[in-house]
Amino acid sequence: MSNKYLLDPAETMFLIIDVQVNLATAMEKEVISIVASNINIIVKASKELNIPILCTEQYPKGLGPTLNSIVKNIGNSFKPVEKIGFSACSEPAFQNLFTNINKKYVMLAGIESHVCVLQTTLDLLEQGYIVHIMSDAVCSRYKSDWKNAMEFLRGAGAVISTTEIAIFQLLQKAGTPAFKAISPMFKKRDDHSPV
């Protein structure tokens, strides 16, 4: 598959950047609720489709752990990579795990759009990965930073997508067991826009 806009389930992973308690409380309550809900949908769909999930935590001693709902949905395989650098790629432990997963496409969600999400995406693009930013599953404290980050990343070569677009691309068709398990998640959702 050569079209960067088409996700291939066999070649895709899901990367969650720094959705931590103390960062989440700095976001508008409604915004973080939508972002967390969409991340949890992607986690559940990823598990159903056997898509690997990798999670980072920025300085957890200060910013706290990943939101509990995400940890619970990931389950026993939850093993976050701690980092200090804004780009996850600056952390050797992350780079080793990421390289070993060996997928071409990266669905990416997290906090904050204009800092860790942006810098990680730029490094992944530089390494030749195709990054799909889940625009309804990333956020910043300020709407202007989120909006500018989406424009910046589109210009840099990332695909700006949404939770529903990505999941239905991965499903590819109706009537499958995966479709039957995942499609009900989209029947009752909050507003699509996180900001």
The catalytic residue positions are 18, 83, 116
List Cα–Cα distances, 91 to 38, 83, 94, in angstroms.
26, 6, 5
Q: Which residues of 134-173 are buried (b: 16+ CB within 10 A; e: fewer)?
A: bbbbbbbbeeebbeebbeebeeeebbbbbbbbbbbbbbee
**Which of 2, 1, 18 minimizes the C-alpha distance to 10?**
1
Tokens of 108: 């990416």
The radius of gyration of the chain's CA atoms, rounded to the nearest angstrom, is 15
The sign of the dihedral angle between the CA atoms of 109, 70, 35, 7 is: positive
Measured between alpha carbons, how far is 57 from 24 in angstroms, rounded to an integer? 12
**Contact yes or no for 21/67 (Cβ under 8 A):** yes
**Could you give the CA distance from residue 114 to residue 138 in angstroms, rounded to a whole number?**
10
